[in-house]
Amino acid sequence: MTQKYLIPLTAVFLLFLVAYAGAGAGLGWFFGIVFPYLAVIAFLVGFVIKVMGWARSAVPFRIPTTCGQQKSLPWIKQNRIDNPDTASGVFIRMLLEIFLFRSLFRNTKAAFNRNASNRITYSWEIFLWVAALAFHYAFLVVLLRHFRFFTSPVPSCVQFLEALDGIVQLGLPGLFLSGVVLPAAVLFLLARRLFDQKVRYISQGSDYFPLFLILGIAVTGIFMRYFTKVDIVAIKEMTMGLVTLSPTIPDGVASLFYGHLFLVSILFAYFPASKLMHLGGVFLSPTRNMANNTRAKRHVNPWNYDVPIHTYEQYEDHFRDKMIEAGLPVEKKE
Amino acid sequence: MTKNMIMGGLAVFVLAVLSPFWFNMVTTTQAAPEPELLGPAKQAKKCVLDTYDMRTSHMSLLDEWRDAVVRDADRIYVAANGHAFNMSLSTGENSCLGCHEDKAKFCDACHTYTSVDPYCWDCHTNPKEIE
């Protein structure tokens, strides 16, 4: 089997080395100023184009997945969230989907029985959901914590989040829980792709690349904070320069930081072209965001071509004499 | 999902992504602190670490000092430049704050700027505050 993870892994290493060596060779202005700006522009433009494209595409049918009892007779209890027929039900369903990944919670795995019958069985597999939830929330906390590099003075909500994330008060600088959870969850998601043969078979380079990239970002960040150390005041001067549109390159910014920043920029630039667009796509899943009310309400395909139609009433008006003559039943006897 | 909802959501998202830019436009942005040596520190010309290591790794050094003093009663630190220092944050003239007298400038300016809230002062006190 081709090793589909090798190219993404090598790519992430090379990208890091390019920035690390480039910054050392005096190209700090490119990796620290030009590329981050380009990456943010690419991210926003790409994201908007992608979502506008989705907004334009046809959704001619109501195709909600139904995971519970549909609204039916009054004495049959409806599952209002898993088979919603109202906008409020859909809203709750979307809320649970976006914040708790409810459909992933239902994840099952198929396997053959180990005994003689060798039948295929499906069992509940919760760990993908657990790791996905841990990963996304740890990443969110890490992202929000980074606002301390883009605001001055730092808002108290960011400081509160930092205090909460560093609540274990281990070591100096204090350990952030998200710094443990994020790499652990990424490693689990990666191990799942590498060691579960069924998942490995369907995994492509574009599945591995974001994982390695995010792992690279996390590892470089962790190294800067806990191990090799960097001059954080100089780095904040630089990031503040970027967001106040007066970019500077202060002395004493470590090459490791340029490696970190470049990987983050690559993530931003790559985002709209990748599977990571599920950030926007989750809101637009037609199987989740539509009410299952096709029995109560008539939905006409808005893309139906505007042609003159011939209804049954018109048909009968047209052929009534002939139908009566042939003995066919008619609705109106003249 | 109607078009208006999608466009509204997209607008909120774009604003959120650009928040570091507009936030600094609508609020007054504090400039980076300029470190300067004052009082005894200006005359001393020697420190426990050189400037860059001081800026990057002082917290690790203080962590090691704390363990050395509290667990091993080892109170003398010989720096890479050969000078011996008393391993103390705030006690005596040969301590960090004995030489760098102004805590607000020496500690707080950069910590506040980078939103670092060290728990040193849960136990230690600023010698200036005692008097």
CB nearest A44 (choices: B1, B17, B119): B17
In this structure, the answer to whether residues A94 and A199 fall within a common structural domain is yes
In this structure, the answer to whether residues A325 and A178 fall within a common structural domain is no
In this structure, the answer to whether residues A27 and A166 fall within a common structural domain is yes
Range of the domain at A186: 6-298
CB nearest B29 (choices: A152, A159, A162): A152
Per the CB < 8 Å rule, is A169 touching B119? yes
- What confidence tier does B104 reach under pLDDT thresholds 50, 70, 90? confident
Give per-residue pLDDT as tens, A191-202. Answer: 999 998 889 999
Predicted local distance difference test score (pLDDT) of residue A179: 95
Predicted local distance difference test score (pLDDT) of residue A19: 95
Exposure b/e, B76-101, CB count within 10 A at least 16 = b: ebeeeeeeebbbbbbeeeebbbbbbb
In this structure, the answer to whether residues A23 and A83 fall within a common structural domain is yes
Alpha carbons B102 and B33: distance in angstroms, whole number? 14
In this structure, the answer to whether residues A133 and A179 fall within a common structural domain is yes
- What confidence tier does B127 reach under pLDDT thresholds 50, 70, 90? confident
Whether residue A122 is contained in a domain is answered as yes
Whether residue A76 is contained in a domain is answered as yes
In this structure, the answer to whether residues A206 and A321 fall within a common structural domain is no
Instruction: State how far Cα A114 lies from the chain centre.
Output: 36
Question: Which of the residue ranges A57-66, A102-111, A322-331 would you say has the lowest mean pLDDT?
Answer: A57-66
Q: Cα-flanking dihedrals φ and ψ of residue B78, to 5°?
A: -100, 115
Which residue do the tokens 């994020």 mark? A182
Pairing of strands A108-112, A120-124: antiparallel
Tokens of A116: 């003689």
pLDDT at A1 over 70: no
Alpha carbons A26 and A255: distance in angstroms, whole number? 10
B62 touches chain A (CB under 8 A): yes
Per the CB < 8 Å rule, is B10 touching A48? yes
Whether residue A98 is contained in a domain is answered as yes
In this structure, the answer to whether residues A180 and A105 fall within a common structural domain is yes
Give per-residue pLDDT as tens, A247-256. Answer: 999 988 999 9
Radius of gyration over alpha carbons of chain A, in Å?
28
Predicted local distance difference test score (pLDDT) of residue B72: 94
pLDDT mean over A304-328: 89
In this structure, the answer to whether residues A181 and A314 fall within a common structural domain is no
Whether residue A126 is contained in a domain is answered as yes
Q: A with B: how many residue pairs have Cβ under 8 Å apart? A: 94
In this structure, the answer to whether residues A82 and A195 fall within a common structural domain is yes
Other Cβ atoms within 10 Å of A282 Cβ, number: 15
Query: Residue A246: is it exposed, middle or buried by C-beta count within 10 angstroms (0-12/13-18/19+)?
Result: exposed
Q: Which chain A residues are within 8 Å of B63, Cβ to Cβ?
A: 171-172
Per the CB < 8 Å rule, is B113 touching A236? yes
**DSSP state at residue A152:** S
**DSSP state at residue A117:** T
pLDDT at B1 over 70: no
| Residue numbers of A between 139 and 168 with CB closer than 8 Å to B | 147-154, 158-159, 162-163
In this structure, the answer to whether residues A333 and A223 fall within a common structural domain is no
pLDDT at A72 over 70: yes
pLDDT mean over A7-26: 94
Nearest to A325 by CA among A102, A279, A6, A333: A333
- What confidence tier does A302 reach under pLDDT thresholds 50, 70, 90? confident
B18 touches chain A (CB under 8 A): yes
pLDDT at A331 over 90: no
In Å, how far is A295's CA from the nearest CA of chain B? 19
Predicted local distance difference test score (pLDDT) of residue B131: 59
Predicted local distance difference test score (pLDDT) of residue A2: 64
In Å, how far is B126's CA from the nearest CA of chain A? 20
pLDDT at A227 over 60: yes
**DSSP state at residue A89:** H
Nearest to A33 by CA among A293, A318, A241, A284: A241
Give per-residue pLDDT as tens, A258-296. Answer: 999 999 999 999 999 999 999 999 999 999 999 999 888
Question: How many structural domains does chain A have?
Answer: 2
Predicted local distance difference test score (pLDDT) of residue B94: 82
Whether residue A46 is contained in a domain is answered as yes
Give per-residue pLDDT as tens, B71-83. Answer: 999 999 998 888 8
Specify whether the CB–CB gap between A129 and A136 falls below 8 A.
Answer: no
Per the CB < 8 Å rule, is A252 touching B52? yes
Whether residue A1 is contained in a domain is answered as no
- What confidence tier does A157 reach under pLDDT thresholds 50, 70, 90? very high
CATH code assigned at A154: 1.20.950.20
- What confidence tier does A29 reach under pLDDT thresholds 50, 70, 90? very high
In this structure, the answer to whether residues A330 and A289 fall within a common structural domain is no
Predicted local distance difference test score (pLDDT) of residue A258: 96
pLDDT mean over A52-81: 90
A43 touches chain B (CB under 8 A): yes
Q: What's the predicted TM-score (pTM) here?
A: 0.90
Give per-residue pLDDT as tens, A88-132. Answer: 999 999 999 999 999 999 999 888 888 878 888 898 999 999 999
pLDDT at A211 over 90: yes
Alpha carbons A115 and A196: distance in angstroms, whole number? 21
The share of chain B scoring above pLDDT 90, in percent, equals: 44
pLDDT at B130 over 80: no
In this structure, the answer to whether residues A78 and A202 fall within a common structural domain is yes
Classified as helix, coil or strand, B85 is strand
Q: Please, what is the end-to-end C-alpha distance for chain B in angstroms?
A: 67
